[in-house]
């Protein structure tokens, strides 16, 4: 059994699945995927995500405000906290820092990130971290805000081995998306080879970043099997071992109510 530890089920184009999310999840089941974490990018996602989680007992959700969403807007901490207390919410995020398109003042991103960390610690639910071109600031804030106390995952990891080691030292797992299957992702593949399997998660980040052999097409949660297969080959370890341990890691980190 596999877990898609980071997907956006509320963003999928269901037109090729008769408009039914149920058919998407059936496709995933046929590919050996048994559980899903559908991740929020805005606080407004919460009602739709709760509705999905109520319909499907193997779908869990998060709450948070992505660093690229609503630029400059102050985080509604009261709503974040209320959402975070919902029993189907098992993580806070995705949150973090993204400087790729950022110009000018970045203080609001850093403040927003710190508030997410505080919320995660208060509700005792792990963090989902998005970090792009913000390596040092991401690690610095995680350290200064004592995020190690609650831990979490560096989702859709694209950085180098040094960052992976430092993140793991801060009590964070490393999650690989379809990017690891890309031909030019040699540095990332090195990380996937070196790191302890006991700290690894896998994900799709669907509908984005479809893995080979579906690169360039809409991504689906069922395609997490290709990420697992690639890592299995890369590490020269049985697919059954990759599946079993990454699934165990998911349950150890997020403690979903099953």
pLDDT of residue 176: 98
Query: Which pLDDT score, from 0 to 100, does residue 105 have?
Result: 78
Residue 54 CA, chain-centre distance (Å), reads 20
What is the block-wise mean pLDDT of the chain (258 residues), using blocks of 10 residues?
Answer: 97 97 98 98 98 98 96 94 98 96 83 98 98 97 98 98 98 98 97 98 98 97 98 98 98 95
CA dihedral 182, 185, 190, 192 (to 10 degrees): -50
Q: For residue 7, what pLDDT is reported? A: 98
Looking at the structure of the chain, the number of domains it has is 1
- pLDDT of 15 reads 96
- Residue 26 sits in a domain whose CATH number is 3.20.20.140
pLDDT number for residue 89: 98
pLDDT at 106: 87
Domain extent, residue 189, equals 2-254
């Amino acid at each position: 059994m596999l877990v898609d530890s980071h997907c956006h089920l509320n963003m999928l184009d269901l037109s090729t699945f008769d408009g039914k999310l149920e058919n998407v999840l059936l496709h995933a089941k046929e590919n050996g995927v048994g559980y899903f974490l559908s991740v929020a990018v805005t606080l407004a996602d919460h009602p739709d995500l709760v509705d999905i989680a109520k319909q499907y007992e193997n779908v869990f959700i998060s709450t948070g405000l992505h660093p690229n969403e609503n630029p400059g807007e102050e985080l509604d901490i009261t709503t974040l906290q209320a959402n975070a207390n919902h029993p189907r919410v098992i993580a806070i995020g995705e949150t973090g820092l993204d400087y790729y398109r950022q110009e000018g003042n970045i203080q609001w991103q850093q403040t927003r990130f710190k508030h997410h960390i505080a919320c995660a610690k208060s509700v005792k639910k792990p963090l989902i971290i998005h970090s792009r071109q913000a390596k040092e600031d991401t690690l610095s804030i995680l350290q200064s805000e004592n995020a190690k106390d609650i831990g979490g995952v560096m989702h859709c990891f694209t950085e180098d081995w040094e960052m992976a080691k430092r993140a793991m030292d801060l009590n964070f797992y490393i999650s690989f998306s379809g990017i690891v299957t890309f031909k030019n992702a040699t540095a990332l593949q090195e990380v996937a080879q070196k790191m302890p399997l006991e700290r690894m998660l896998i994900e799709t980040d669907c509908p984005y970043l479809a893995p080979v052999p579906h690169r360039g097409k809409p991504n689906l949660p069922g395609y997490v099997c290709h990420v697992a297969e690639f890592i299995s080959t890369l590490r020269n370890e049985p697919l059954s071992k990759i599946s079993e341990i990454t699934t165990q890691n998911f349950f150890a980190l997020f403690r979903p109510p099953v």
